[in-house]
Every structure is written in structure tokens, then in C-alpha cells.
Amino acid sequence: MSLDISQRDYARPDVLVSTDWVAAHLNDPGIRIIESNEDPLLYAAGHIPGAVQVDWTHDLNDAVRRDYLKKPEFETLMSRIGVTPQTTVIFYGDKNNWWATYAFWVFQLFGHSNAKVMDGGRAKWEREGRPYTREIPKYAPTTYVAPHRDDSKIRAFRDDVLKHLTTQKPLVDVRSAAEYTGERLHMPDYPNEGALRGGHIPGAKNVPWSKAVNPEDGTFRPAADLRALYADEQNVTPDNDVITYCRIGERSSHTWFVLTYLLGYPNVRNYDGSWTEWGNLVGVPIER
């Protein structure tokens, strides 16, 4: 059984809430529960009462270019789901919160810091036999004024990664071992597609995202275990400038969340271009 959140010695324990906490705040008007999944059909099949859906493909991404939504679209999204700058949003989802932390990360590009993640995600809520509903909630539209998206602090681009290669600063490849070695171009049990070449960015060390969670319930491991995991694998410490990556940035947002909030490391960026960009770039090096 995993420890309570308060017993895990996180730098920011306030960014995690338990399933018990969510169950006790279902009717809190200052809270908006957000489900974000890899499979968008899961929400329609049943979701936490009062939860709204944020679809990573349609709601968070630009419709015609590989980039995220901009300020006007983010404001429209927040108005539609009934969120104000003062609303605390609680993210949860499938795959042990891959897409919940991805949505959390995108929200931070717009400075919505009133945000938390439900520890254990959708699977833990289900395993505990807690209620689901198919009723789609309706909230009054809000007026939300967002700052312009700020990519400078928590997002990395390919040029940033190229600079990392010359400075030998930590790069964390959070994919599976088979993707890291180049045996596969995608996750196990998924189609082998997404990039022309297999392998990893030179100098990157493989710390699969799943090592950060308890396999029995998907909750995050205690801070001491996490610090040892990343320091042992690649000298990922608070004084280093760290970049995480995966295939498209969702699994690496999970590791970004762990390093930034649970361990409190101040200089961690997520390279959302990840292997689908790097593995297709002309003229950049790879390792196998």
C-alpha cells in the first residue's frame, strides 16, 4: 500500500490530491475536475461526476500546425468549461495520468497555477469502486483573460536540445527500453510508426516514466525513491538544467511533473517535439 501524500516528502505536496479528497470535493464550486485521456471515448463511457473533458488532440493543439493553442483559444476553452483564474483545476486520466500531466503542463504555459493532479488517476478511482456518470455537466461560461503563452521556461525546442549536446547537460529519455535502443519506433503494443529512424538523442539516458509510479495503483513513489532513481541514472539533480522527452511529449510531461513539482527541481523543460521530430530531422545525430 502506498504512503499518504503527506508522508512522501514531496517538495510540493499541494499539487497532488487523493481520490478521497476528490470524492469529498465533487460539489465544490471553486473546483473544476478535468479528465484528459489518450482514448477520448473513455469519458463518454463514464467519468467522475461533474468532471469536464479536455481532449488533448482537439482542445490543446492547434488545428493546422504542430503547436499548442494560443491565448484566444485557451481563453475560449477555459470559458467553455466554466473556469476562472481563481478556479482550482484537478486533472486525472488514463495511462496513470500521462495525459493529465500533459494537460497540466499545457495549462502552465498559460500560467494557470491553480492546478493539481489526482494521484493514481482514473484506474485508481475505478479500482476503489467509486461512482461514474455519463451525464455531461453544464457550467455557465466564464470570462477568462489569459497571458500570452510562455514557452521560455518549461518547454524545450530542438535548438535547445542541440545546445544540450554540446554542454552534456542531462537529457532524460522516458520511453521504453526498446524505443530507446531503436528496436521499436513506438511503444510496445502500439503500431510501429512515428519516425524514420530508431534510437535516442546522443547522451540521453533511459529512465522510463513508469519507474516513477507504484505498479500496484499508479500513485507516485516517495520523494527519496524518485531522487535516487534520477540521480543514479543520469545525475539529474536540482542544480542541473534538465530536458525530458519521449515520442510526442506526453510521457515526458509526466516525468517533467515529477521532477518539477514532486522533487522541486527548478530547471526542467519538456521537449514536446520529442522523437517524432528528432527521429525525422535531417542532419542531427542519433545513438542506438
Side-chain-side CA neighbours of 125 within 13 Å: the count stands at: 26
Q: State the Cα–Cα distance between residues 60 and 11, nearest whole angstrom.
A: 28
Q: State the Cα–Cα distance between residues 147 and 154, nearest whole angstrom.
A: 15
Q: Which among 83, 75, 13 is positioned nearest to 51, based on CA atoms?
A: 83
Instruction: Give DSSP secondary structure letters for 71-137.
Output: HHHHHHHHHHTT--TTPEEEEE-SGGGHHHHHHHHHHHHTT---EEEETTHHHHHHHTT---B-PPP
Amino acid at 277: E
Contact 20, 224 (CB under 8 A): no
Amino acid at 232: D
Side-chain-side CA neighbours of 116 within 13 Å: the count stands at: 20
Amino acid at 212: A
Residue 275 is inside which H or E element, if any?
helix 274-278
Instruction: Give DSSP secondary structure letters for 178-240.
Output: HHHHTS-SS-TTS-S-S-SS-SB-TT-EE--GGGGB-TTT-PBPPHHHHHHHHHHHH---TTS
Q: State the Cα–Cα distance between residues 89 and 87, nearest whole angstrom.
A: 6
Query: Which residues are identified as catalytic?
Result: 246
